[in-house]
Amino acid sequence: MKAADMATEACGSRDKRTTNAMPYPEGTPEHVEKFVKRFYAKAQFAATALAVFGTPVLAFGSVLAIEIASFLMTLVRKGIASSKIYHGVYSASLFIMFPAMFVTLHCADDLTVQSTFRAMVVAAVPTTLRMGRLEKPWSKYSSWAIGIPTGVLAAEVALQFVNPVFVAWLGALWSMGDTIQEFFLAKQTSKDKRSENPNEPPQKVE
């Protein structure tokens, strides 16, 4: 991770990177952009964990979602694809991993279920440390450094006492609720800003 950051510092740009740099369709409200970005960030945590700890099929699907972002970004910058296509395809490639995980949990053998559950727990720990509503979010380095061993250990202990499918559903529903909450919080913040400055037009993403 540090090596990747060093390469970005030397050869890349912190302002022109995949999802951060991609424009949103004209007229997209600010709170919708924040909602989508939170979904992207959470899904990227899950994709990273699945790529390392998941089954071969889930690992491949996760890497595909990560790699397709760069390809789509190139198409947008060359004017071949619109930002709407970028966000539609990229969102779908990330979202499809969630039903894929639960199909695996419900239909696969015990070892595959355990592997998928382990990846979900590993993803949950750094996501909470980095993106949870903490007073001071952890850095990405600390989040992953603590999250991986903690997640693996927590998963192994949980597998001895609980039904992994049930716990996975609880975690997924909690994460979905948290993401939806971000939408309404951002929407309320935008509304408060407009009430304080009634003559200012609603903020939109160009």
> What are residue 29's DSSP bridge partners?
204
Distances 62 to 36, 46, 92, 124, 145 between C-alpha atoms, Å = 18, 8, 12, 16, 21
Tokens read off for 138: 């952890």
Q: Do the Cβ atoms of 66 and 16 come closer than 8 Å?
A: no
Q: Name the pTM for this structure.
A: 0.82
Coil, strand or helix at 145: helix
Q: Do the Cβ atoms of 105 and 168 come closer than 8 Å?
A: yes
Reported as a single tens digit per residue, the pLDDT across 124-183 is 999 999 988 777 888 888 999 999 999 999 999 999 999 999 999 999 999 999 888 888
pLDDT at 16: 60
Q: What is the mean pLDDT of the chain?
A: 85
CA-derived radius of gyration, the chain: 19
DSSP assignment of 61-78 equals HHHHHHHHHHHHHHHHHT
Reported as a single tens digit per residue, the pLDDT across 51-60 is 899 888 899 8
Neighbours of 36 (CB within 10 A): 20
Task: Read off the pLDDT band of 205 (50, 70, 90).
Answer: very low
CA dist 18 and 205 (Å) reads 16
Closest CA to 30 of 175, 188, 178: 188
Residue 201 pLDDT exceeds 60: no
Task: Read off the pLDDT band of 206 (50, 70, 90).
Answer: very low
